[in-house]
Every structure is written in C-alpha cells, then in structure tokens.
Amino acid sequence: MNNGNHKIEEFFCRNMEQIKNPIIKSFLANAKNLYLVEKAILYPTDCNMKMVDETFQSHYIKVQKIKYVSNLIYFYSLDFDKKRRRLHDRFLLIVDDGLTRTGIARNDERIEEGLLDTVEDEQLFQSLQNLTDKQLQILEMIYVKDCSIKTIAETLQTTPQNISNLHRKALKKLHQMLKKEED
Amino acid sequence: MERENNYNEESLLFIENFSPKIKQCLHQTSYQEREDLEQEIKLKIIEKLATQEFINTPSFWDFFT
C-alpha cells in the first residue's frame, strides 16, 4: 500500500502542469473520480483505464454544455434586443412617431401667428398680456416656433443663460397670476 | 423514449440552475419584452440541448503523455 501511495504521488508530481489544467482539476475534485484515477494508476488494466475515460468524458461534456448554455443565454439576449430594436425602428407605430406630416403642416401654419393668437384660454391670455415684451417674445419663440435656447440667444444677442432665466421668470410670473385668479 | 426523458430532465435542470443568469440577461432588453425574452431563452436551451452534439472529447490519458 505504501508502495502504491508512492506510485500515485510520483504520478501526480510528474504531471504537475497537467493537474493545474482547470478541466482536470475540476474532474479530480470529485472524490469518486479521484478514486477511479488512483485505481487506474495502481492497476493500469484496460478496464480501469476505460472507466476513468468514460467518467472523464461525461464530465467534459457536462462542462462543455454549461459553457455552451451560458454563452447561449448571453448572446441570445443581446441578439433578441438588437432584433427588437431593428423592427421597432423599421415599423413605427403611428403614436410613437413624433412628428407626422400633418403635425408639421400645422406647426407651419402657427409660425405665422404670434403666441397671443394661439392662446384660447381667456385667463391665460390676460396673464400673458401682463408679461414684458421680452418675456413674451421668448415664450413665443420657445413654444410656438420651437427654437432652441441657443438660437434664441443668438437672435436676441444675449447669452443662453439669460434666456433661460427670463423664461423661468416668465413661467413663474404666469403661474403666480393664474393661481391668484383661481383663489 | 428514455432518451427523450433524459433530455427533458437535463433541460429542466439547466434552466433551473441558470435562472439567475437568465434573469440578469433580461436587463438587456426593454421592460415590456422581458417576459418574451425569458421564454425564448428557455425554449432555446431546450432546443439546443436536444440537438447540439458535443463531440471531440479528449481522452483523460491524452493529457498525461
């Protein structure tokens, strides 16, 4: 038996590099597999060798399958979303489509009108008239003409920060006025 | 028949063990699509385990020459 232990030890020492191979390592981690291998080293008969081989191969296939399924899940979910996005971009639902042609046409019509012409609410109309000219102009450009803050700043020859401030003040004033009237 | 049963059991085991990973991968897609994706993944696992051939397994003793 001592001799046998020595033999096994020698075998493992000789194959240190291979033992470190993850697949071999995980195979030998199982006590049952280790026992089979030791038996095959001590008594290297065809039967013993074959038994080790068979268990090893089933272990190998199992690892392969796990790896395969893991990759499958990951890449399949990526592909799935890619496909979904492609379809989504290609076949837009009408509601999802931001600007339809009729929408643009209507905007074109409105550009001709000022902010005060588009307002239908009487209270809002009165409140708007209380704002300064500049505030009114900015609100009109933002909400009727759909300009960006930057373009407005350029046309009025001031800074975007200033426009943003005036915009906020105008909205605050409107809000206060409307609230007062409600009370 | 027995082979088929084995496949089914195996697929079930895989799906069960991989469910955390599947859940994690659902974040790849938008909220509305997640249930669909989950089902598709599970279907794919079952399908692939039944059809995919895992061959070319090396012999244990090939490593020790």
Reported ipTM: the value is 0.84
CB neighbours of A113 closer than 8 A, spacing ≥ 6? A144
- A18 close to B (CB below 8 A): yes
Taking a C-beta distance cutoff of 8 angstroms, is the pair A52, A36 a contact?
Answer: yes
pLDDT in tens, chain A (183 residues): 567 788 888 887 877 777 888 888 888 888 888 888 888 888 888 888 888 888 888 888 888 889 999 999 999 999 999 998 888 888 877 666 555 555 554 554 445 567 777 777 888 888 888 888 888 888 888 888 778 888 888 888 889 899 999 999 988 988 888 888 877
**Domains, chain A, with CATH or none:** 2-64 (no CATH), 101-182 (1.20.140.160)
Q: Does A126 touch chain B (CB under 8 A)?
A: no
For residue B37, give the nearest of A18, A61, A77 by CB distance: A77
- The token duo for A21 is 């191979």
Looking at residue B1, what is its pLDDT?
60
Say yes or no: A27 contacts chain B, CB-CB below 8 A: yes
Q: Which residues of B touch A74 (CB under 8 A)?
A: 21, 25
Question: What is the rounded CA–CA span in Å between residue A127 and residue A173?
Answer: 9
Cβ contact A61–B21 (<8 Å): no
